[in-house]
Amino acid sequence: MEKELKIAVIGQGYVGLPLALAFAQHFPVVGFDIKQSRVAELQRGIDLTKEVDESQLNVSILTYNNSGGVKGYKPSTSISDIADANVYIITVPTPINQFNAPDLTPLKSSSKLVGTVLKQGDIVIYESTVYPGCTEEECIPVLEKTSKLVFNRDFYAGYSPERINPGDKVNTLETIVKVTSGSTPEVADYIDDLYRTIIKAGTHKAPSLKIAEAAKVIENAQRDVNISFVNELALIFDRLGIDTQDVLEAAGTKFNFLKYKPGLVGGHCISVDPYYLAHKAIQVGYYPDVILSGRRVNDEIPVFIASKVVKLMIQKGIDVSRSRVLLLGFAFKENCPDTRNTKVAKIYEELVSYGIEVDVYDPWVNLEEVREEYGIEVMTTEDELKEHRFLRTDHRYGVMPSPYNAVLLMTAHKEFNDLDVRSFINEPGIVYDAKAILNRSIVDSRL
């Protein structure tokens, strides 16, 4: 079977690329993506997401080329390269729109694309996070309409939700238990066996696609609700004038206390997936108060941080409208270039709305991606940081020396551990620590 099987992984981002390379150790795999620049990078052996070992990427590409496509990995934007596959795995994004409703455009587009090459006996597996029932209600009809084939007679489907944790080199694809499911008992067994070839931690075969979908979406909804609780505590304790971290440290001495920390909730999963579950709940007549209230609390935090810093500046007599602020970190999590749905962008916007000049430094992110997605210029090297450190450009005053009036640590990148944050400050200035990792003696306030 290994010689006959050919896999096409649709989407070569944080989820699709590690998956494709894992399967490429056993089967011929084509990693398909519509973004030409991304595929061009992969063809050169470059992964800007930093999720895979680039030496492994290069070896997999060479293996494919030297074996004549018997095994290995081929990145491609050509539909003809996936036309002879018999297992299609879809790993495209599932974002929300401006109304916090599911945006299924990438999912439906990729389903339509696969439908154009779908053949008798093929299997389509979805890994994108969706609400329970989405695969069968939204995706399968697209496959049937495009391919003119009949579901569960001519082709089959599965759902195996991704559990990628960007930037985590310990809990990787192979070391996390994989939930699998199939549209028939036989297909479920086949898909489960397929994933067992790459998942060292083992698999869990769910009874149905809908159950597998539900399992995935509640994983992130649970974390969102738990984080919203400690974020709400942070809002309360700030008004009481006590340190949230001190309270959590004291409470954490109890054996069954769950040790969550307050923070910015961004990224592609935790801040998005609860809306998918809420959407489906409302469709079936139930309003999910807990889930949506958690979302509201977590979405308050960027505004809270920005306003807190402004208040602290005013208390120290700083002219806010002529002030400079440095944000350390733009990625949504530490030691990772992922800026998807980062809440640092909201803090940036809030500070700018006060007339503050804001600089951002993050050595991990891709400058072009941040510029394209958010319209924000980010310093990515220490040289840039040093250059801007004491230099201000103001349309009223021209170029003039001016250190920062406030430094906000947003992301706990390892590069920031030894940074002399206070040296960037024009005293009296503000240091705000959103991650609670800096020495408390130099911090004015923290989340």
Annotation marks residue 269 as catalytic:
yes
Q: Which two tokens stand for residue 119?
A: 């053949």
Letter for the amino acid at 15? V
Is the separation of the CB atoms in 77 and 39 below 8 Å?
Answer: yes
Q: Which two tokens stand for residue 45?
A: 């052996």
CA–centroid distance for 274 within its chain:
14
Which of 389, 294, 406, 390 shows the shortest CA–CA distance to 347? 406
Which of 149, 139, 156, 20 shows the shortest CA–CA distance to 82? 20
Q: What angle do CA 210, 281, 232 make, to 5 degrees?
A: 115
Instruction: Please give the radius of gyration of the chain, using alpha carbons only, rounded to the nearest integer.
Output: 24
Output the CA–CA distances (angstroms, integers) from residue 155 to 136, 143, 254, 299, in the order listed.
13, 9, 53, 42
Pairing of strands 398-401, 391-394: antiparallel
What is the DSSP code (8-state) at residue 253? T
What is the DSSP code (8-state) at residue 155? B
Letter for the amino acid at 378? V
**Options 134, 139, 269, 336, the catalytic residue:** 269
CA–centroid distance for 167 within its chain:
10
Which of 225, 228, 274, 217 shows the shortest CA–CA distance to 96? 274
Please tell me the chain's helix, strand, coil percentages from 3-state DSSP, rounded to the nearest 5: 45, 15, 40
Put residue 165 in one of left, alpha, beta given phi > 0 → left and psi -120 to 50 → alpha. Answer: beta
- Cβ neighbours of residue 391 under 8 Å, at least 6 residues apart? 399, 400, 401, 402
- Secondary structure in 3-state letters for 320-354: HHHCEEEEECCCCCCCCCCCCCCCHHHHHHHHHHC
Strand 425-433: give its sheet, edge to edge.
357-361, 324-328, 404-409, 425-433, 445-446
User: Would you name the residues annotated as active-site residues?
Assistant: 269
